[in-house]
Structure 1
Amino acid sequence: MSRRRPRAVVAVAPGVVFVEGPVSNWVVLAEEDGVALVDAGYPADAGLVLDTIRYAGHDPADLRRVYVTHGHVDHIGGLPAILEAHPGVTVLAHADEVEAVRGPERDQATLGDIGGRIAAPRVLGWAARAVRSGGLDPVTVPPARAFTARDFDERAIAPLPAPGHTLGSTAYLLPAADALVTGDAVVTHHDVQPRLWSPRPRMIPALFTADTATAVESAAALPLPGIVLPGHGPAVHRVGDRWVPIGH
């Protein structure tokens, strides 16, 4: 049992459990042949990810695949330990993102990139949590491969390209749930942003993004259904012209 605790675990639709983790998020999906994940948190989250699979009513031994939104450590860091325990799991990412997922080299903001902003209390608090979570670990996921259209045949999930945050950033549409898993292409809140900001779909702070102009274009092109499941911040659902957090 992991000592880490999620901020929220929410069943947003049948077979779809959203986990707002300690610092970043993931999703547990019931699929036809077992269970799947979208992303897997930081290295320190591996045990918690497996706990949330159990919470969702599944046996971690039934984990079949992980769909990766992008290759940053806060979204793939749990994979090495998960794959060590369950070596048959398939790890899928956009072709432009596979090398970043395999690592250890990847285009990701460093403490040096943050520079003087580290002195801001919100930024310092986030950085400390990220480091404690294994954010500086040299994560590698050698089995990762590029997904193809066949990987989504007869599945209730579809990839949507969302480049900009990283070269191969990908969102995943869950049509039956009227939900979109956005990774960091769209977030609802980030720890470096003011706490008083109401959760809603928004851009992640630019310092975390490789190509801001492309990221803005990608975010504008994404269809936002009734439910948004972000890489950071709470899940939200649309109520009239407002976005309301789920499970808070």
Structure 2
Amino acid sequence: MKLTIESIDVGRGSEVHHVYTDHVNWTLLRDDDGITLIDAGYPGHADLVVDSIRMIGGTPEAVVAGLLTHAHVDHIGGLAKLAGRYGFPVYTDEIEVAHARRKRLEQAGPLDIARMAYRPRAISWLVEVLPLGVLSRAGVDDAQGVAAGVPLDLPGRPVLVPSHGHTSGHAAFLVADGRGLVSGDALITGHRVSGMTGPQRIPRGFDHDRAEAAQALIGFTHLDSDLLLPGHGPFMRVSVAKAAEQALSQE
């Protein structure tokens, strides 16, 4: 599996690294205190996440905490494996905790995927992600909630931004002193099912509440960030506000 790393030197010894793969992305925040890992792909991506950490000069033992945008398998799967392996805590939006602990499940199941079968790209996507563990229901039993709107006492000082809709407790994270937005699946720049490029919404069928997810995008139009680090698709240097407006206009 291939990966591409886009690195941003934030200054004062702080770095942001957006790791892009064909199917899903994760983000590494690194400073003198260690590494914060935001999302970690499918279960089958766990070793690739470790590779990416080593590629930026770190070690998995330096991960202080994991942050979770939402508990879909392609974001929590690798995180669950690595948190179990290396013993770091996992934090997410307070509403998403129950989903992360698998007290409830809000992800596309076989019937949802079947409804997308008319799209040729959906079938090829499914064939590609099956070996990565797309059907896994693994969660993080001790996931914890954190407050929104304040810098977390973690490497990179990320700030949780509630962006509910894709899941009930979906969250984005401001990084690089607010210049960057790790947008999870609330705002993406590509997906194998859509085949589109540029700022866009996740394809229909993947959102838990499509209308609420649109409201989250409206919230992004008030941000001053100029670095977009999405959960799917490549990193973009773009006004996040304008990117959100573009995605909304496509509906």
Question: 1:103-125: per-residue Cα shift (whole Å, max 9, x none)?
Answer: 27411011311324324321111
Give 1:162's aligned amino acid.
S
For residues 225-236 of structure 1, what are the structure 2 equivalents within 5 Å? 225-236=225-236
Match of 1:220 in 2: 218
Amino acid in the other structure paired with 1:174: V
Deviation at 1:98, TM superposition (A): 0.6
- In the superposition, the TM-score normalised over structure 1's length comes to 0.87
Q: Give 1:107's aligned residue.
A: 106
What is the identity percentage for the equivalent residue pairs of Structure 1 and Structure 2?
A: 32
In structure 2, the residue corresponding to 1:156 is in which secondary structure?
coil
Show CA shifts across 1:21-72 (max 9, x none).
Answer: 2411100111442111110100000000111111111111111101110010
Tell me which residue corresponds to 2:62: 62
**Which of the numbers 5, 10, 15 marks the counterpart of 2:2?**
5
Once the two structures are superposed, residues 66-113 of structure 1 have per-residue CA deviations (whole angstroms, 9 ceiling, x without a partner) of: 1110010000101232123201x0100111001111127411011311
**1:211 aligned residue (186, 209, 212):** 209
1:144 aligned residue: 143
Which consecutive aligned stretches of 4+ in structure 1 deviate over 4 angstroms post-superposition?
A: none
1:194-205 aligned at under 5 Å gives the runs 194=195, 197-199=196-198, 201-205=199-203
Gaps in structure 2 of 5+ consecutive residues = 244-251
Q: 1-side partners of 2:178 and 2:7: how far apart?
A: 11
| Unpaired runs of at least 5, structure 1 | 244-248
> Any idea what the Cα deviations from partners look like across 1:165-219, whole Å, max 9, x if unmatched?
011110001143711000001111111112xx332x2211121001111100111
Q: Could you tell me how far apart the structure 2 residues matched to 1:229 and 1:94 are?
A: 18
Judged with a 3 Å threshold, the aligned counterparts in structure 2 of structure 1 residues 168 and 242 are, in CA distance, closer, same or farther, namely: closer
Q: Match for 1:30: what amino acid? A: R
Alignment of 1:1-248 (within 5 A): 4-6=1-3, 8-14=4-10, 15-87=15-87, 89-103=88-102, 105-148=104-147, 152-153=152-153, 156-176=157-177, 178-194=179-195, 197-199=196-198, 201-222=199-220, 223=223, 225-238=225-238
TM-score (norm 2): 0.86
Distance 1:188 1:22 in 2: 12
Q: Secondary structure at the residue paired with 2:114?
A: helix
Structure 1 residues 151 and 238: CA distance shift in structure 2, 3 A: closer
- The residue type equivalent to 1:5 in the other structure is K
Separation (CA, whole Å) in 1 of partners of 2:115 and 2:89: 40
- Deviation at 1:157? 1.4
Match of 1:246 in 2: none
Identify if the C-alpha distance between structure 1 residues 110 and 46 changes in structure 2 by more than 3 Å, giving closer, same or farther: same
Between the aligned partners of 1:161 and 1:18, the Cα distance in structure 2 is 20
Q: How many residues align?
A: 234
Aligned residues of 2:171 and 2:184 also touching (Cα < 8 A) = yes
Aligned counterparts of 2:89 and 2:112: Cα–Cα separation in 1: 33
Determine the C-alpha separation between the residues in 2 that align with 1:22 and 1:81.
20
